[in-house]
Structure 1
Amino acid sequence: MNDNPTATSTPAALGFSMPAEFAPHDACWMLWPQRPDNWRYGAKPAQAAFVAVAEAIAESETVFVGVNDDQYENARHQLPAHIRVVELSSNDAWMRDVGPTFLTHPDGRLAMVDWEFNAWGGLNGGLYFPWDKDRRIRTKIAEMLGIERFITPLVLEGGAIHVDGEGTLITTEECLLNPNRNPNLGKADLERLLGDFLGISKVIWIPRGCYQDETDGHVDNLCCFVAPGEVALTWTDDTSDPQHAISREALEILENASDARGRTLRVHKLPQPGPLHIADSEASGVDRLSSSRPRQPGDRMAGSYVNFYIGNAVVVMPKLDPAHDDAAKAILEGLFPGRRIVAIDAREILLGGGNIHCITQQQPRA
């Protein structure tokens, strides 16, 4: 373990870097939903959606699903035998944010970054309390895999960043510069730390994430790399929708930016579903606790087709709106001609505050 890396022993200085999601994987990590104050009806509908996502990803890579002990038998019963169920306690099921960011080395080694996690804002806007089990997940996965773990005090969630694997990272100011994350760090500090721990050399800053995104604007819900020099961006032509101004602002920045290799980015628009809102029947199935974010009838959800997972042979996308599902799938088929696009009914995941990318974390091929 590398508990206190110096300037000469940072992951980047040692030759490690974070690969792009579209690079080959050895595995995908997920967690099992169960908390009744976030997932309706004891998480049973959400569990069915998680099973469908895991099955689709497992077509071309190993899938690990971490489960609390009291749900182990239930999860093992619901998940197919080829999906590996492991006891890995968590406070909730957002592996993208509570899990490790994996790194690879040219000599074939795998390592991870162990970010600090405070449940998307700690006691200043965080989504639940406590988050002690979530903080131990990265340590446990490092032990299970026997890989080096680079510890950093930087508060950051995996959904807040997206990389092209060639030196470029996209993130949002809304999230990384939020005072409930790293109040004493500015852009230059963050860029230096991201370079040290991820091996990137260029950061493209988008001002805001999707409208009403409770993660304080995670970039993986707004835009992502689909190939070197190519980005997918959630989009709406409805100028009366608050999302329009956010997406237009992001489009202008992305089209005028260059990546770490000097390329101008090509931006592909994905239609926004909805807008989508929580129904009365959906809100009524969630337990109300003071330690978690309430789910209120009529609340707008930050639905986005950009929140997909790029697997080895598949792209697993959310089905969210019959009016736009097919169009979004057709666009993704054009962007990923070598992969099969699998659309999963993902409203139950969205009701919990995120989507398919949020519940997954790729383990790159070392």
Structure 2
Amino acid sequence: MRRREMILTSGAAGLTSLFGAAGGAAESRFYVPPEEAPHQRTFMQWPINRQVHSDPVFREMTQQTIADIANAISAFEPVVMLAAKEDHSGAQAKLSDAVELWDIPTEDLWCRDSGPIFVVDGQDGLAVSHIQFNGWGEKQIHRRDGQIAARLAERLGLSLLPSGLRGEAGGVEQDGHGLLMAHESSWVNENRNPGLSRDEIERRLLSAYGAERMIWSEGVWGEDITDYHIDSLARFTGPGRVLMNLPDAPDLRDPFHAAALDTHDVLVAAGLEVDVIPEPYDRRVQSLDFVASYANYYVCNGAVIAAEFGDRETDAIARAALAKHYPGREIVTLNVDPLGELGGGIHCATQQMPAV
């Protein structure tokens, strides 16, 4: 099953909200720190649902890829894999002993989207700023995944601060210093936030992340399950600094290429320093739906965990760019092609818990 196919599985309605449609804004003293700030641990999710991952061979490949990522991160910081108790034995066969398993049931692997958004207050306080996951606009079953953030907050004894928004953290990028960027298509969308204007969504996002300013670009509606998450295109690497990947020869007939160029121009016009790396060309998987994103990396304690796609030239360019933007960190590259076939990457599969 391909993530871009936008299949509507049975039971996709899931939980519309655990706290009501309107909710309340996260308290302003809390904020999401930079991803490169120290972590207490990383959370990930075990992909297990047979409606979502119907091909047993590809499901096995996907699980091994998730295990490879978890094992790589565990060399640098603690990793917790979320899975129902009955799924632990299958996960343990692929995971290293350093990865801890918690009994929180999952369906899919995208912890960036359905996992908790941790916020800090700078005084050793930690909470979860809650944006309700609804299966990317009711496109996929999420009976379990729609409850993960709340269940983790309960297990950790943390307050859950509802934002009144439906959506996914992969749809907004934050620098931890007051600035957000996002594609409108992932938020100003009837499948997530019906009846809310862009201004109201922006207000709630700024409150949820403890940020002050937001940069929007249009994105792409209805062409992939995420409505074009920005974290596969552009990432903050520091205050006012962005790393993004673009095709060397963009095809303006491709809505993703056109939207990517628009996002680049918007970011430059906003005064940000934008460093561009090319998308891979000579890659192992040539499918048009394959997401070959160097930007979809994860920063953990002492390392950057990133994808390589088999294009020796662009793989080397991406590695050098990551080393430049994250000096002093080890750059670890992995073959995560199954995630690209599903429409995502390493960042999509991880969620950091900041150290306090």
TM-score after normalising by structure 2:
0.87
1:302 aligned partner: 291
Could you tell me how far apart the structure 2 residues matched to 1:162 and 1:351 are?
A: 22
Structure 1 position 270 matched with structure 2 position 277: yes
The one-letter amino acid paired with 1:196 is S
Asked if 1:45 corresponds to 2:48, the answer is no
In structure 1, the partner of 2:40 is: 26
Corresponding residue for residue 153 of structure 2: 142
Aligned AA for 2:279?
Q
Task: Please state how far the C-alpha of 1:277 moved relative to its aligned partner.
Answer: 9.4
Matching residue within 317, 327, 340 for 2:306: 317
Question: Aligned equivalents of 1:269 and 1:255: distance in 2?
Answer: 11
Shift of 1:247: 2.5
Which residue identity is paired with 2:273? R
Structure 2 counterpart of 1:330 = 320
**Residue 355 of structure 2: aligned partner:** 365
RMSD over aligned Cα atoms: 2.5
Contact 2:307 2:346 in 1 (8 A): yes
| Counterpart AA for 2:187 | L
CA distance in 2, matches of 1:312, 1:206: 31
CA distance in 2: counterparts of 1:299 and 1:278, whole angstroms: 9
The answer to whether the aligner puts 1:114 opposite 2:130 as a matched pair is yes
C-alpha separation in 2, matches of 1:10 and 1:173 = 20
SS at match of 1:132: coil
Q: Percent same amino acid among aligned pairs?
A: 30
**Please, which of 64, 73, 84 is the counterpart of residue 80 of structure 2?**
64
* Contact persistence 2:25–2:164 (CA under 8 A): no
Q: 1:245 is matched with which residue: 258, 266, 289? A: 258
Candidates 171, 177, 181, aligned match of 2:192: 181
Q: Tell whether the 8 Å contact from 1:211 to 1:302 is kept in structure 2 after alignment.
A: no
DSSP 3-state at the match of 2:62: helix
Could you tell me how far apart the structure 1 residues matched to 2:111 and 2:319 are?
Answer: 24
* 2:15 alignment counterpart: none
Q: Which residue of 2 aligns with 1:11?
A: 26
Structure 1 residues 278 and 345, CA gap change in structure 2 (3 angstroms): closer
Q: Deviations over 1:116-140 (max 9, x none)?
A: 2211111xxx1x22x1111211121
Deviations 1:276-299 (A, max 9, x none): 7978xxxxxxxxxxxxxxxxxx55
Q: Against the structure 1 CA distance between its residues 234 and 214, is the aligned structure 2 distance closer, same or farther, given a 3 Å change threshold?
A: farther
Partner Cα distance (1:275, 1:149) in 2: 45
CA contact (8 A) 2:186 2:221 kept: no
Aligned to 2:243: 232
Shift of 1:320: 2.0
1:10 Cα deviation from its structure 2 partner? 4.2
**Cα distance in 2 between the residues matched to 1:100 and 1:109:** 15
1:356 aligned residue? 346
- Give distance in 2, aligned partners of 1:18 and 1:3: 21
Question: In terms of mean alpha carbon deviation, does 319-328 or 338-347 score higher?
Answer: 319-328
Is the CA contact 2:185–2:221 (under 8 Å) kept in the aligned structure 1?
no
CA distance in 2, matches of 1:305, 1:343: 10
8 Å contact kept, 2:237–2:325: yes
Matches of 2:251 and 2:165 in 1, distance apart?
37
Q: Distance in 1 between matches of 2:353 and 2:58?
A: 29
Q: Residues of 2 paired with 1:235 and 1:326: CA distance?
A: 16
Q: Does the 8 Å CA contact 2:163/2:205 hold for their aligned counterparts? A: no
SS for the counterpart of 2:144 is: helix
Question: Counterparts of 1:149 and 1:344 in 2: how far apart (Å)?
Answer: 34
- Aligned residue identity for 1:228: P
Indicate if the aligned counterparts of 1:307 and 1:357 stay in contact, CA closer than 8 A: yes
Give the superposition deviation at 1:274: 3.8
Which letter maps to 1:11?
A: A
Query: Which of structure 1's runs of 4+ aligned residues deviate more than 6 A?
Result: 275-279
CA distance in 2, matches of 1:168, 1:209: 22
AA aligned opposite 2:349 = I
Q: Distance in 1 between matches of 2:40 and 2:177?
A: 20
1:163 to 155, 174, 181: 174
2:42, 2:136 → 1: CA distance? 22
Structure 2: 5+ residue stretches without partners: 1-17
Q: What per-residue deviation string (whole Å, max 9, x for no partner) do you get for residues 148-182 of structure 1?
A: 11123310101011111111001101111122111
1:218 aligns with 2:229: yes
Q: Counterpart of 1:268 in structure 2: which amino acid?
A: D
Counterpart for residue 293 of structure 1: none
Q: Structure 1 stretch 319-328 or stretch 339-348: which is displaced more?
A: 319-328
Q: Which secondary structure does the structure 2 equivalent of 1:120 belong to?
A: helix
| 227-236 vs 321-330, which moves further | 321-330
Aligned AA for 1:28?
Answer: T
1:314·1:340 contact (CA, 8 Å) conserved in 2?
A: yes
